[in-house]
């Protein structure tokens, strides 16, 4: 069985075809991705209308590129896929609409089912795509530019959210801090790169995270970071080492906030940990969680960020399990825990 996946929920257009064998083992046979980062960099953040327009422009180009490679190598054409998975939420309404409309049109033309996919579930399942021996139950830490949540995964479509962010996502905390340091959008990875030259401590401090609070909150940190940068602006601009120490202390504060919620959950349940979403590309986060949890899985870097393969794989899993998904529609807010109940 072959499933096409389409991802357009935010600022990456992703398409992929995933092939499942009789035993349910999956492999990505082709994929293409177009990042809109250069477009949004001009504005310091994602501009929803521009993002939607850019998806509309690049989606047909990517699909053509994908299928021209696939038909040469595997004889796979748009008409020979068995289903089309598409991200229906959560995400930006106008962006989701482009992917869903395309999927609907293609599915109608080929007579195959369009399968709605939850973007966050896609991120989580990308670990099962790459580590076939990984079985629920496990804990997933979803850390992206739009989402930060700790989830207990009981099985396909069965999730309980232990905690999530009340305000900014971890990726947003990275990006907003990076913006104050004049790194181009989205500065998370650059801030992390700059912090990497510092080993273990910084002359600066930031307030400790509130461990007793159930959910994550990064808005207090955002204010503290803004003050720290304002007070030390001249030194940060003049001395690269001061700049690196500021980056280090910001990254340390964000990682502490993540660790203090996820590590106790993993230890109490004695289950593996999956870390997914864009921030899971962060090397320091990987090292710290690997040191503190016995069994940790990270999807490969190219599937940490948004991509079509995770959407194709999720759709294929639903198809194989004969599990029904909600109607094909746009769900710009679509909390994971509602996956087992019908949406209206």
Q: Which residues bind Zn ion (CB under 5 A)?
A: 144, 306
**Selected binder of ligand KG4 within 128, 175, 252, 265 (CB under 6 A):** 175
Q: Which of residues 81 and 247 has its CB atom nearest to ligand KG4 in the complex?
A: 247
Number of residues binding to ligand KG4, judged by CB under 6 A:
18
C-alpha distances out from residue 163 to 60, 253, 255, 343, Å: 38, 18, 16, 22
**Selected binder of ligand KG4 within 36, 144, 165, 202 (CB under 6 A):** 144
Question: Residue 297 forms beta bridges with which residues?
Answer: 274
Query: Is there binding between residue 14 and ligand KG4 (CB under 6 A)?
Result: no
Q: For residue 176, give both structure tokens.
A: 């907003």
Using the contact rule CB under 6 A, the part of the chain among 29-37, 274-282, 313-321, 334-342 near ligand KG4 is: 274-282
Query: Is there binding between residue 282 and ligand KG4 (CB under 6 A)?
Result: yes
Q: How far apart are CA 3 and CA 152, in angstroms?
A: 27
If DSSP codes are grouped into helix, strand and coil, which group holds residue 84?
strand
**Selected binder of ligand KG4 within 279, 296, 311, 330 (CB under 6 A):** 279
Q: What secondary structure letter does DSSP report for 78?
A: G
Query: Is there binding between residue 146 and ligand KG4 (CB under 6 A)?
Result: yes
Q: Return the residues of window 289-328 that contact ligand KG4 according to CB under 6 A.
A: 305-306
Using the contact rule CB under 6 A, the part of the chain among 71-79, 143-151, 288-296, 314-322 near ligand KG4 is: 143-151
Q: What secondary structure letter does DSSP report for 30?
A: E
- String marking each residue 227-256 x if it binds ligand KG4 according to CB under 6 A: ------------------------------
Q: How far apart are CA 34 and CA 55, in angstroms?
A: 9
CB atoms within 10 A of CB 266: 21
C-alpha distances out from residue 146 to 11, 38, 66, 176, 293, Å: 11, 19, 27, 12, 25
Query: Is there binding between residue 189 and ligand KG4 (CB under 6 A)?
Result: yes
Q: How far apart are CA 288 and CA 24, in angstroms?
A: 33
Q: Which residue is nearest to ligand KG4 (CB)?
A: 278
Query: Is there binding between residue 145 and ligand KG4 (CB under 6 A)?
Result: yes
């Amino acid at each position: 069985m072959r499933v096409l996946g389409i991802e357009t929920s935010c600022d990456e257009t992703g398409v992929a075809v995933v092939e499942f064998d009789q035993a349910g083992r999956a492999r990505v046979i082709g994929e293409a991705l177009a990042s809109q980062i250069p477009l949004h960099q001009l504005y310091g953040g994602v501009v929803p209308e521009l993002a939607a327009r850019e998806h509309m422009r690049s989606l047909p180009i990517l699909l053509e590129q994908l299928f021209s490679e696939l038909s040469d190598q595997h004889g796979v054409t748009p008409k020979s896929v068995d289903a089309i998975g598409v991200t229906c939420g959560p995400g930006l309404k106008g962006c989701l609409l482009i992917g869903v409309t395309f999927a609907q049109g293609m599915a109608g033309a080929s007579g195959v089912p369009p399968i709605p996919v939850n973007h966050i579930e896609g991120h989580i399942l990308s670990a099962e795509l790459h580590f076939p021996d990984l079985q629920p139950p496990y804990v997933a830490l979803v850390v992206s530019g739009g989402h930060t949540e700790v989830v207990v995964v009981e099985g396909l479509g069965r999730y309980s959210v232990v905690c999530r962010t009340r305000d900014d996502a971890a990726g947003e905390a990275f990006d907003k801090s990076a913006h104050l340091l004049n790194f181009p959008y989205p500065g998370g990875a650059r801030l992390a790169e700059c912090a990497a030259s510092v080993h273990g401590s910084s002359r600066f401090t930031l307030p400790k995270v509130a461990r007793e609070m159930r959910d994550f909150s990064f808005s207090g940190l955002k204010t503290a970071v803004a003050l720290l940068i304002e007070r030390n602006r001249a030194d940060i601009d003049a001395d690269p080492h001061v700049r690196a120490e500021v980056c280090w202390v910001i990254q340390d504060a964000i990682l502490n906030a993540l660790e203090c919620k996820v590590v106790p959950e993993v230890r109490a349940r004695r289950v593996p940990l999956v870390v997914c979403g864009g921030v899971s590309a962060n090397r320091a986060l990987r090292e710290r969680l690997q040191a503190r949890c016995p069994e940790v899985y990270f999807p490969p870097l190219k599937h940490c960020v948004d991509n079509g393969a995770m959407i194709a794989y999720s759709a294929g899993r639903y198809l194989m399990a004969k599990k029904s998904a909600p109607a094909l529609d746009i769900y710009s807010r679509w909390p994971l825990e509602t996956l087992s109940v019908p949406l209206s």
